[in-house]
Structure 1
Amino acid sequence: MPPDSPPAALAAPELPTSPQPGVVALFFAFARMSLAGFGGVLAFARRGIVEQHRWMTADEFNETFALCHFLPGPNIVNLSVVFGSRFRGIPGGIAAFAGLVGPPTVLMTILAALYARYGDIDALRRVLAGVSCGAVGLLLSVVFKMMMPLIKRRDATGFVLLVAVFAAVGLMRLPLQLVLLVAAPISIFIAFVMRRRASA
């Protein structure tokens, strides 16, 4: 292997083969994601962006979603704006955001009115309990898919950071903001050092 070749763990991700989406395509893509996203849109957003449309690789999606964790507001809303702006600037960000929140807002307004009238029905409560179980399953599924790039690269450092953050937030109950303030600089520093070594 030539000396200037990066190691397998830092190999460049495969580039998407699909052309960049237009403003209209962004709106309808995120509208479909939001209307299909029972229990959370993240799983459907990843499937649509990475697997169906192939607008991003799995690594690019993970990196973009990680960036959205550092922005105020819901992560999936941040993702729509960042993603749309990346391809079509401000109009693309607005189109993706409108597609994500517009149709569900209309639908939820109608459902809220129906729930206010019929929410005391026991059968409806059992249905909602079943939907919540499905939402947990969707979340576990997308977490596993987002871990696959780490598994394929055998990125031990990434796994250590993943477990450390999970333990800090999930087990030790430390504030998320504090954990991010510590974990983000460490992650950036490690990535910088590894890239420097790869290019040396």
Structure 2
Amino acid sequence: MSEDSPPAAEEPDLPAAHGVPPSLPALFMAFARMSLAGFGGVLVFARRAIVDQHRWMTADEFNETFALCHFLPGPNIVNLSMVFGARLRGLAGGVAAFAGLLLPPTLIMTVLAVIYARFGDLDVLRRSLAGISCAAVGLLIAVVFRMMTPLFKRMDALAFILMLAVFIAIGVVRLPLQAVLLIAIPLSIGATFILRRKVAA
């Protein structure tokens, strides 16, 4: 952070990379652009806009916020829009981000649903959708690696162990998601709390 930047204590809820919160129209437009660009999932474009483009969050803060939203009921990216908008601009900010995220694609999907209902049996359309699904998987894998970058930089062994354990439990052993989270969340919070106390001591 430069010497001219405001001290962190003055704006505890804002990342050091950005001292002035965006306006409500700016929040709406930012999330509207994310949703319109978000072919294959908005998460890829949300991280790029929030962390890389606007610098409203650091990479670590985005990961922590997304982790919280991932453990809440409902679509992760919708939760993220509400939590992120409310963090910067209160309830009005949450509503602005939420509206920007959902309103444009809702209007587009309404039109596309009418078109699909009429032409959905065409073979060329089915092949196009299959190709789009491959691109969506690639985008998701790319953003997962980007979100793992802070962990690699910190070389946090505990985080890697917990991440691997959850992946094996859900992806390989096929244990119920709810049961895994009931164990993984308190375990990870407790382990992190103990380790940070040791470091502080």
| TM-score where L is the length of structure 1 | 0.91
1:19-168 aligned at under 5 Å gives the runs 19-168=20-169
2:186 is aligned with 1:185:
yes
Partners of 2:17 and 2:46 in 1: CA distance: 16
Detail structure 1 runs of 4+ shifted over 2 Å in the superposition. none
Question: Any gaps of 5 or more consecutive residues in structure 2?
Answer: 1-14
> Which residue does 1:174 correspond to in 2?
175
Amino acid at match of 1:147: M
SS of 1:82's equivalent in the other structure is: helix
Partners of 1:199 and 1:35 in 2: CA distance: 45
Q: Please report how far the alpha carbon of residue 41 of structure 1 lies from its aligned counterpart in structure 2 after TM superposition.
A: 0.5
Q: Please report how far the alpha carbon of residue 21 of structure 1 lies from its aligned counterpart in structure 2 after TM superposition.
A: 1.2
SS of 2:130's equivalent in the other structure is: helix
Partners of 1:46 and 1:18 in 2: CA distance: 19
Aligned residues with identical type, % of pairs: 68
> Which residue does 1:6 correspond to in 2?
none
Question: Any gaps of 5 or more consecutive residues in structure 1?
Answer: 1-13
Partners of 1:16 and 1:173 in 2: CA distance: 40
SS of 2:160's equivalent in the other structure is: helix
Q: Structure 1, residues 73-103: CA drift from partner, whole Å, max 9, x if none?
A: 1010000000000010000000000000100
Q: Structure 1, residues 31-61: CA drift from partner, whole Å, max 9, x if none?
A: 0000100111011100110000000000000
Q: Structure 1, residues 136-195: CA drift from partner, whole Å, max 9, x if none?
A: 000100100000000000111100011000000101111111111100001101111121
Partners of 2:19 and 2:89 in 1: CA distance: 15
Contact 1:18 1:54 in 2 (8 A): no
Q: Structure 1, residues 94-150: CA drift from partner, whole Å, max 9, x if none?
A: 000000010000000000000111111111111100000000000100100000000
Quote the RMSD (CA, aligned, Å): 1.0
Q: Please report how far the alpha carbon of residue 17 of structure 1 lies from its aligned counterpart in structure 2 after TM superposition.
A: 3.4
Partners of 2:19 and 2:52 in 1: CA distance: 11
Contact 1:18 1:53 in 2 (8 A): no
Amino acid at match of 1:120: D
Contact 1:83 1:93 in 2 (8 A): yes
Q: Please report how far the alpha carbon of residue 19 of structure 1 lies from its aligned counterpart in structure 2 after TM superposition.
A: 2.6
Partners of 1:90 and 1:108 in 2: CA distance: 27
Contact 1:26 1:84 in 2 (8 A): yes
